[in-house]
Amino acid sequence: MRVLSGIQPTGRPHWGNYFGAIIQYIALQDAEQAYYFIANLHALTTVRDKSLLRQYSLDAARDLLALGLDPHRAVLFVQSDVPEVSELCWILLTGTPMGLLERCHAFKDKKAKGLIADAGLFTYPVLQAADILAYDSDTVPVGEDQVQHIEVCRDLAGSFNHQFGEVFVLPKAKVLDNSARVPGTDGEKMSKSYNNTLAVFEDAKAQRKQIMRIATDSRPMEDPKDPASDILFMLYSLVASERECEELAAMYRHGGFGYGDVKKKLAESAEAFFADARSRRNDWESRPDDVRDILRAGAAQARTKAAQVLARAQEACGLKGI
């Protein structure tokens, strides 16, 4: 099994990113081979400040390393350091129907909201397909909202193979665990767009203050409550042990407690849960050259593989051998 996943460098990771995706990506690094890249070409559609994009890209690498990605077991690199992917993207674009891209969710949603949808967003699924196909990836972990893009990738690869011969491996989506969906501090899905996030690497004291400000209902303390429908309990269940969750659930059902007590438990458990990752993050922060060395070594490995796939595609469609 060859796994591929990309992380857009558009800001620091929050609990939704971690529990909803990153922790599941990293669990797959023991596959036969795993490629993880910092998707700075994709991020360029939204981040237009060069210094910020560079910083976000380096930070994303530090974050992944701190959260458990092991460069000895997986290939970590920056997307733009593998130019073969961009060339492969153009080859795929030449055979991509406009109608296929017009039906993609990201483009349709932005257009429906009256927002400017540029060519980068429009062709995003094709670059994503090139990212996947360049490494002969057969497994791509994605959320439900990204499954369509894997289907687009399969369509493009299948069409190319039909026309020019068996060049590309057709990947399959590995849909991430839906139970890992994380509520934001307002009860909606945790998202930077909603400004309702809890950052993974936030200072513990600052995060405690943020947790203590989470709005709760006004039911009397003595009333029993359903833990499954409560934001605080759902967040607590992510960072506490199974035994601790059972004890808190029993307290909810019995009643006779204040939400302030739950918030304190949540803050304490979160601090303990992320303590090691925050310590590792501080260590990587002090070693930027080591991070860059890892990214360079990863890019060299990725380019070797991507060059092989690109050469197959070029030969098949007549771009080589003139």
**Residue keyed to tokens 């007549």:** 318
- And the tokens for 37? 């890249």
Distance, CA of 37 to CA of 128 (rounded, Å) = 12
- Which residue, 14, 20, 18, 13, is CA-closest to 177? 20
Q: Which of 108, 113, 192, 305 is catalytic?
A: 192
Q: Given 172, 189, 265, 320, which residue is catalytic?
A: 189
Is the four-CA dihedral 110, 112, 118, 124 of positive or negative sign? positive
Q: Reply yes or no on whether 110 is catalytic.
A: yes
**Active-site residue among 110, 113, 225, 320?**
110
Q: Is residue 50 flagged as an active site residue?
A: no
Which structure tokens are listed for 260?
Answer: 């302030």
DSSP 6-66: EE--SS--BHHHIIIIIHHHHHTTTSSEEEEEE-HHHHTTT---HHHHHHHHHHHHHHHHH
First to last CA, the chain: 35
Closest residue by Cα to residue 106 from 92, 97, 114, 117: 117
By annotation, the residues acting in catalysis are 110, 189, 192
